[in-house]
Amino acid sequence: MREIIFDTETTGLENRNDRIIEIGGVELINHFPTGNTIHFYINPGDRKVHPDALAVHGITDAFLTDKPPFAEVAPKIIEFFEGARWIAHNASFDMGFINAEFERLGLSPVPGEMVVDTLSMARRKHPMGPNTLDALCRRYGIDNSHRTKHGALLDAELLAEVYIEMIGGRQAAFGLTEDERQKQGTDEPEAGGPVEVAKRPRPLPSRLTAEECERHAALVASLGDKAIWSKYGSD
């Protein structure tokens, strides 16, 4: 299963008028990061960064002047997300901007069934909150000390760690998929069923020295015939 954990930064809060100025995404396969990422800064055209938004992410109008417009990076974004689930924290905000940008280009919106909102997940799992990204990092022991301002790729990387923890931690991806089980030549389900353990062709060498074995034997002998160690043979 392929998923993209992503985040956006924008010029403001209104997706009909404001624009995306940064997008960052992290690829997961079966809930494990692959190392593949996507990251773009985007020129919003004549739309200026609102002061309130600037205080959050620190991305200035001057910084964005030489960056490509959304129309230029859209094909790369679509290619990177192709076939994957779109996963974001407060996804309705990010998807509102993504779909508004797609609409301006005459592109189809992302289907709702392909979107996962980690904020909704966190509210169900931790109903007493708080469930901001920073709060969830603290809850799961994820180091976010380098997050002094919001940044799309950094936030996506942190959210990927949070998401993995929310769905059960690293063990969530240990089970084989159906295709993988068939490649391994077994139809046993992921949980339950007999497990055949192969015997070693040669026993592992003892980690005890001869001196330690002799000292242990002397100790057992000193305990008498009723010592529990006497019930164990030396075979």
Q: Which residues are catalytic?
A: 150
Q: Give the integer Cα–Cα distance in Å for 227 and 15.
A: 78
Task: Confirm if 102 and 110 have CB atoms less than 8 A apart.
Answer: yes
Buried b (16+ CB within 10 A) or exposed e, 84-105: bbbbbbbbebbbbbbbbbbeee
Where in the chain does DSSP place strands (E)?
A: 2-10, 20-29, 32-41, 85-88, 115-117
Provide the greatest CA pair distance for the chain: 92
CB 135 within 8 Å of CB 129: yes
SS3 108: coil
Question: How far apart are the C-alpha atoms of 152 and 10, rounded to whole Å?
Answer: 10
Q: What is the Cα–Cα distance from 102 to 96, expressed in whole angstroms?
A: 10
